[in-house]
Structure 1
């Protein structure tokens, strides 16, 4: 193959490479960045869901503790008197419980099965499963809904604790079983869970952004030798077959550069062989052509070359 053919093939390969690179395909750095960021994004979303669940769990534990404490405090105000019941619950204490309209503690005291005694009668009953029952002195927590105060059919979600009490004693005929329920709006629980979630996700998001920046800078630094290799290849003349120079490069890139240098060396060797062949062929053809030229000059001097047609043919051969 001639040198011109090698140059033509090299130019065609360069144009095809530039065409493929400019056809809308993602660069290697962007592909690496996507492969790194996508798992981080999935983990961030999964972490957000898990963080919200943990935050809701912690908020439930805090609210359940306050509800349990309030129900036991209310239960201590209930005292049996003979066959009756003394409720030492002054109006001032009720006003304290209901002072904050956004976070009121609602309560109800009843005597199973469903005899209302005191409090807010709209509190939802415990949604016990079939065969389950409340145990004396053990709080039972559940979620429910109750109508909002005012006109309309709007309801609010509440967190409720139910505490079953036995006043007097099991062996006494005047023993009474009472159900104390204390409820609190779930709005504050959800707000607390959101605040915990935001407090957890903001540092995590900042960490993800910082890690993304570090990864991007690392990818650019890691691909810098590949950029230098591309510049060496693109900036060459078609006849420049010198080996590529990459002193400090990763092992994989050194292997690629070594393969390209081997190919360039083979092309250089092939071009040199073609040049030697052309030089040898020219040298071998020069002597016969010189002899042929001498013979035509000698033939032109012969008397028989006076024929115009023969002389014209000899001149053409010469």
Structure 2
């Protein structure tokens, strides 16, 4: 176990640094492009170094070509004065070679072993100078050559070549490289420093935002100023403000809920204590003791029901995202709830029944949590049982329906009763926690319908209430759940 702990610490991924990532993405291309810049600079330097020395080679070839004269028998003659020959080879750095060949390939002057132009090289017009790279006695040389036709009868032109080693060119190219790259060596650290300072300056607003958030009091949920941050950070600040607003609403709701819950539990608990005190009085008769015990029982039942409803509401508010979803047959769930509630309905003399499609009917299934959905249906049915009176003259009737709309294929569930109904102004208020309709003379926690709405919203359903029998003395209530819409 100890070694596993060490492995976790060793391979634990370090937290990413936004500053470091930006710096990496800015400096990495710079460091990768720098060698490419060196190579390109070297190529450019080679071209620049070749140009002046190539011109000198061309001039020498043209000067030698002027010394070729026509001779007897279609032959050519070449004569180079000694001073000119010495001047041609007077180079302190590089070795200079030259060669003159006649029309038949015979050697006229210069170095015999100077390589000839490639066989596929175009001869071009007379006196047109060409440049090539070649090798002479193991040394790389730059060669300028031209073909010369003295008259139209000449079948083969004469060849004049001048070659020079590349030492001066390499020295000049190296000087160009130094002149270009040495400043870059000095500028590269400066560029890195400037990038570093720019990043420090660029992320400073984030540090200031962090300081403002840290300086806040724990109970300060006011929105952050999204105008004092950069444009790129503004969406993050807006999202944080939205989160703060929702958190503020949640805290307000929780505080109100706790206050209401404490108020609701205070009454039955106070009744329990009072009845217990009455039962403990000296001189109480057996009849008084029984009445106190009955009151204690009713108060405990009321307190238990309120606590259960509070737990159900808490589970409904937090269970939609935590509990797994599955395909639920609403007809089967409704049947289970009706079987559970039937004894209580019979005790009150109520007619509790079901109308609608059969179990397994296509379209009667929803994706949801069966526990929450069953709790939702149970609250609707128990609410109807609780508020629907039943007398020998007029029996209370409660009907649960599960229907599938033939046009929209939407699933609809209804719980209908023939009780006193809910006045129109109060039909939206009854879905608020701890609200109870006036004039019913029935005790309740006021939490059943809020639980129904919360579970319905989590399952993408809407809930509404209407009069079941318009125009009658007891219009009743019809609660409708329509799945597939929010």
TM-score, length basis structure 2: 0.48
Spell out the pairing of 1:159-174 with structure 2 (5 A cutoff). 159-166=142-149, 169-170=151-152
Answering whether residue 180 of structure 2 is matched by residue 200 of structure 1, we say: yes
Answering whether residue 36 of structure 2 is matched by residue 53 of structure 1, we say: no
2:268 and 2:255 map into 1 onto residues whose CA distance is 21
Give the Å deviation of 1:71. 1.6
Give the Å deviation of 1:209. 5.0
Change (3 A) 1:101 1:124: farther
1:42 and 1:255 map into 2 onto residues whose CA distance is 34
Change (3 A) 1:176 1:125: closer
Question: Equivalent of 2:118, from 114, 127, 139?
Answer: 127
Q: 1 or 2 for the larger relative contact order (CA 8 Å, sep ≥6)?
A: 1
CA-based RMSD of the aligned residues comes to: 3.8
Spell out the pairing of 1:1-318 with structure 2 (5 A cutoff). 23-24=13-14, 26-41=16-31, 43-79=33-69, 85=77, 87-90=79-82, 92-100=83-91, 102-129=93-120, 132-147=122-137, 155-166=138-149, 169-170=151-152, 178-203=158-183, 210-233=190-213, 241-245=221-225, 248-303=228-283
Change (3 A) 1:34 1:166: same
TM-score, length basis structure 1: 0.70
Change (3 A) 1:299 1:97: same
Q: Which moved more, 1:72-81 or 1:262-271?
A: 72-81
Aligned length: 277
Which structure 2 segments of 5+ residues have no match? 1-8, 287-292, 298-486
Change (3 A) 1:25 1:282: closer
Give the Å deviation of 1:105. 1.6
Which structure 1 segments of 5+ residues have no match? 1-18, 148-154, 307-312
Contact 2:78 2:109 survives alignment (8 Å): no
